[in-house]
């Protein structure tokens, strides 16, 4: 095909160093996606600041533009969404490519199931390998018509013009993406949609629905009920920094002697703070300063200083509250004294990569004894050697191994890092300014 060349991006990180400084990591990915979706479906103009200008959230913007929504920005985190109302989306000219973004696909399935037009949702090699029946099956029960590939994967063909009915649905897995996709379908359904989770998961959808003036009922920590037929009113949103991005620096500063960081305006919604709790159980020194509310979400500044860590058995109740932070936490465990045991985390096997296998392989390549189990991992803390690891295109694995270099005895080369841009554009520069000796290598 002409002179088309695949280039791969690697990180090469020299060993040692410490992290210092005070800054704000980019905006929260989960909240940024939802801000576009709710803004698009609302009546009026929604103004967003602090938006994450990463590839996943840009995929959501592009998909709504393809359905006729006028969206200005992102410009330094500012976005304006000209809402078209719940029934104002238009049929896109072709399939909607959601790239690497599971959140876009699962939440948009719920929205698109309620539209009058047909639509196809697709994505990259990772996304088209991830399980989608978990969302299409309950949507089908609501009356949607969705065709998946044979293995229950994308592309998803969503046939519009169906009448949806509310359901009372106990979620088989603790997943905010499923809960949110079903609540979004519930906006279009006749009657009540009631979702019960096996364990609490992030509640950004519920908070944002309230922020857009849509009534919902939250009976206890695990049940939420919504009725169709209402309307969303445009809102002004200030999106906090992403705790999931801050997590790499929380771990990096915790493992590197001499480190002292202040991370500003970080989202500390209690359904997301498992990473802080787990690190503290391991002995980390993290202070939560100046807690406040910003646009309906709890926010704080986080000060983190080096502290010697010890291995723990991670409480299963914290797993859904730290679900995206395990790659970084496994690096903390590798640097801790003793053994860390994770159970109840089978979901990690169906994220952007199989995060149990890929992390165990990478840790083993760096001479750390780590063994995956069906639903977790056992990691024996030790001395990280230098070496080469493969992130398998998983952004969080790439950034986690970059932090591992702070405690390694030799350089670490991390292959396949381009997807860091899905969630954390500017990671390499920020990490360097904080003290990580990171170089990027483009490999033809
Ligand atoms: C997300 C929910 C989580 C998380 C993902 C973002 C969300 O996925 O891993 O990065 O924004 O709702 P699951 O709900 O599948 O666990």
Task: Examine the pLDDT at 188 and tell me if it is beyond 80.
Answer: yes
Nearest CA to ligand 1 atom 13: 175
Determine whether the shortest distance from the Cβ of 202 to ligand 1 is under 6 A. Answer: yes
Give nearest CA residue, ligand 1 atom 15: 175
Spacing, Cα 29 to ligand 1 middle (Å): 10
C-beta atoms surrounding 91 within 10 Å: 13
What pLDDT is recorded for position 443?
Answer: 86
Place of tokens 């045991």: 341
- Dump the DSSP string for 261-303: EEEEEEE--TTTTHHHHHHHHTT-EEEEEEEEEETTEEEEEEE
Mean pLDDT, residues 279-289 taken together: 99
Express as a percent the part of the chain with pLDDT over 90. Answer: 97
pLDDT tier, 295 (very low <50, low <70, confident <90, very high otherwise): confident
pLDDT digits (tens, 9 = 90+) for 267-280: 999 999 999 999 99
Per-residue pLDDT band at 93 (split at 50, 70, 90): very high
CA distance readout (Å), 366 to 126, 333, 349, 391, 392: 25, 13, 21, 13, 16
The fraction of the chain above a pLDDT of 70, given in percent, is 99
Phi-psi region of 327 (alpha: psi -120 to 50; beta: other; left: phi over 0): alpha
Q: What angle do CA 215, 221, 227 make, to 5 degrees?
A: 25
pLDDT at position 211: 97
- The closest residue, in CA terms, to atom 16 on ligand 1 is 175
Q: Of these residues, 324, 354, 416, 429, which one is catalytic?
A: 324
Task: Give the contacts of 53 (CB within 8 A, at least 6 positions apart).
Answer: 26, 27, 74, 77, 425
Mean pLDDT computed over every residue of the chain: 97
Q: What are phi and psi of 185, to 5 degrees?
A: -65, -35
Q: Is 225 in the pocket of ligand 1 (CB under 6 A)?
A: no
DSSP 246: H
Q: Which ligand 1 atom is the nearest neighbour of the CA of 179?
A: 14
63-72 mean pLDDT: 99
Instruction: Assign 437 to helix, strand or coil.
Output: coil
What confidence category does residue 171 fall into, taking pLDDT thresholds of 50, 70 and 90?
A: very high
The helix (run of H) or strand (run of E) holding residue 372 is strand 370-373
Q: Give the integer Cα–Cα distance in Å for 268 and 282.
A: 19
**Which of 324, 325, 346, 419 most suits a substitution to test ligand 1, by most atoms within 8 Å of the C-beta?**
324
Mean pLDDT value across residues 12-38: 98
Q: How confident is the model at residue 220 (pLDDT cuts 50, 70, 90)?
A: confident
Arithmetic mean of pLDDT, 94-103: 98
CA–CA gap between residue 358 and residue 371 (Å, rounded): 11
Q: Is 203 among the residues known to form the active site?
A: no
* Closest by Cα among 19, 31, 22, 20 to 242: 31
Backbone phi, psi, residue 126, to 5°: -65, -50
pLDDT at 2 over 80: no
End-to-end CA distance of the chain: 15
Question: Does residue 177 have its Cβ closer than 6 Å to ligand 1?
Answer: yes
* 4 confidence band (pLDDT: 50, 70, 90): low
Q: Which helix (H) or strand (E) holds 365?
A: helix 355-365
Mutate which of 32, 35, 102, 206 for ligand 1? The one with the most ligand atoms within 8 Å of its CB, which is: 102
What is the set of domains in the chain, with CATH numbers? 8-27+240-443 (3.65.10.10), 30-238 (3.65.10.10)
Helix (H) or strand (E) holding 390: strand 387-390
Q: What confidence score (pLDDT) does residue 7 get?
A: 76
| Model confidence pLDDT, tens digit, residues 243-270 | 999 999 999 999 999 999 999 999 999 9
pLDDT band at 3 (very low <50, low <70, confident <90, very high): very low
């Amino acid at each position: 095909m002409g002179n088309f060349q695949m280039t791969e991006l690697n990180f090469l990180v020299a060993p040692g160093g410490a992290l210092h400084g005070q800054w704000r990591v980019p905006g929260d990915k989960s909240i940024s996606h939802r801000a576009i979706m709710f803004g698009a479906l609302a009546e009026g103009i929604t103004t967003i600041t602090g938006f994450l200008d990463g590839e996943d959230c840009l995929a959501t913007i592009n998909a709504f533009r393809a359905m006729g929504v006028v969206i200005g920005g992102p410009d330094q985190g500012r976005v304006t969404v000209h809402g078209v109302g719940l029934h104002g989306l238009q049929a896109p000219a072709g399939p909607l490519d959601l790239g690497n973004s599971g959140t876009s696909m699962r939440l948009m399935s719920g929205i698109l199931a309620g539209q009058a037009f047909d639509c196809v949702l697709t994505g990259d090699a990772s996304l088209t390998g991830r399980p989608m029946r978990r969302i299409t099956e309950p949507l089908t029960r609501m009356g949607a018509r969705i065709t998946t590939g044979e293995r229950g994967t994308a592309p998803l063909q969503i046939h519009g013009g169906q009448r949806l009915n509310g359901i009372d649905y106990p979620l088989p897995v603790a997943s905010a993406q499923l809960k949110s996709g079903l609540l979004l379908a519930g906006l279009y359904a006749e009657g009540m949609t009631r979702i019960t989770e096996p364990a609490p998961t992030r509640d950004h959808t519920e908070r944002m629905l309230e922020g857009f003036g849509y009534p919902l009922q939250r009976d206890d920590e695990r049940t939420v009920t919504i009725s169709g037929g209402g309307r969303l009113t445009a809102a002004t949103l200030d999106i906090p920094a992403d705790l999931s991005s801050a997590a790499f620096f929380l771990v990096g500063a915790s493992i590197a002697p001499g480190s002292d960081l202040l991370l500003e305006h970080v989202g500390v919604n209690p359904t997301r703070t498992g990473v802080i709790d787990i690190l503290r159980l391991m002995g980390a020194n993290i202070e939560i300063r100046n807690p406040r509310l910003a646009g309906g979400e709890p926010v704080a500044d986080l000060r983190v200083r080096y502290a010697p860590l010890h291995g723990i058995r991670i409480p299963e109740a914290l797993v859904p509250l730290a679900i995206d932070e395990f790659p970084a936490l496994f690096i903390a465990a590798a640097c801790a004294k003793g053994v860390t045991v994770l159970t109840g985390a089978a979901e990690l096997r169906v994220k952007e990569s199989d995060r149990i296998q890929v992390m165990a392989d990478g840790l083993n390549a760096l001479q750390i004894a780590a063994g995956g189990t069906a639903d977790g991992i056992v990691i024996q803390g030790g001395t990280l050697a230098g070496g080469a690891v493969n992130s398998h295109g998983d952004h969080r694995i790439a950034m986690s191994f970059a932090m591992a270099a702070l405690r390694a005895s030799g350089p670490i080369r991390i292959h396949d890092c381009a997807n860091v841009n899905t969630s954390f554009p500017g990671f390499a520069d920020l990490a360097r300014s904080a003290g990580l000796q990171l170089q990027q290598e483009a490999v033809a």
